[in-house]
Each structure stands twice: as structure tokens, then as C-alpha cells.
Amino acid sequence: MHFAPHLEGLSLASSNKTKIAEYTRLSQGLIPVITGTDLKEIFGTPDQIALYKALEGGEGLIVEDSILVVDDEPVIDIKWRLKDLMERAKHETATLIWEVRLAYVKDGIVKVFKGTLEGRLRPWDVAGSGYDPIFNVYGVGQSLAQLENRGLKDQYSARARAFSALLANEPHLVVQSNDLPAWTGPFQNE
């Protein structure tokens, strides 16, 4: 691994087939992308979720957490509320920010890398994964689903931006793993 020696020995894991395909495309063989299992996600801030998900994944495993900020309100459990958002898109608009955090633990240090993309809620008109069909990218005038269909999504994707930060070793947050207390709060979808 010549371009990212700080990632030596790490693998990126996801249980989501669409994300696996995107990361395989983005990694260009620099990082192994593997099928993982769903990890328990805490009910906390977006940064806390990424930190504790990295701890749950264990040393050497890069994990992802995605959230959607809707009209300045972080929706951390978007996969459980997607149906409601799709319904809302039929009748109203909203400001959206897609945030992706990639995190891993290596040598007792947790690093979190972040990518964002701004857009607007739009009516569904093209099939796609997750909220891609209802996320209209600012300045482009197309949904993420339309961009994916044209092979252009990676040029705008919050996932691609987080991955670029990971490759460049430009963390959003760095914490000693032993500074994180055991989580005693609630978990998502409980």
C-alpha cells in the first residue's frame, strides 16, 4: 500500500451491498473491502456513534456511519425513518446535509474521518438506494440516484469525500480508545 501507509493492515467492512460496491470502486484496491455484520449503534451524537461503532468493530476494521441532517436536525437513525422522509418528499422540501463518518481503531487510537454533501429534499422520480432518489444535490440539479445512473455520483458523494479524507489521513476527530467510557446509554432501534 504505497499511497496510504497509515491504513496498512486495515479493512473496510459493511453489511450493505450498495456501500460495498461504492467502497470497492472508491478504494481501487488500496484497502480491502469486506462484507461485515450489522454493528449495534448507540443513540448519541453523530461523532459518538462513529467512535463507539469503531470500538464495536474492533482493532483494524474501518466502519461507516451515515446520517442525514434535515432542516438543521441530525437524523441519526435515518434507515428506520426513511419511509417517512420519502412520504414528506411528495409534499414539501427541506434542506439536507448528508454526513458520512468513517472510523477505525488502530494501536489504541480511534480516528474519525468525515465527508458531507448539501442538497434539498425532492420528490422521488428515479429508482435508487436509500435516500438517493430524494436527495437533490445543490448546484447540480440532479438527485444522487440520477448521478449514480450516469456514473457521476462519486464526484459529489459524501462517502467519497470521507474516503478521500481517510486516504489523506485528515481526521475529523482523534481519541484514545481508553478515554472512551463503556457506553451505558440507549441504542438505536431498541
Q: Which residues contact 131 (CB under 8 A, 6 or more apart)?
A: 68, 78, 82, 85, 86, 98, 144
Domain 5-176: which CATH class?
alpha beta
> Rounded to whole angstroms, how far apart are CA atoms 155 and 162?
12
Residue 171 pLDDT greater than 50, yes or no: yes
Average pLDDT, the chain: 90
pTM above 0.95, yes or no: no
Q: Which residues contact 6 (CB under 8 A, 6 or more apart)?
A: 169
What's the pLDDT tens digit per position in 6-54? 888 899 999 888 889 889 988 888 889 988 888 888 889 999 999 999 9
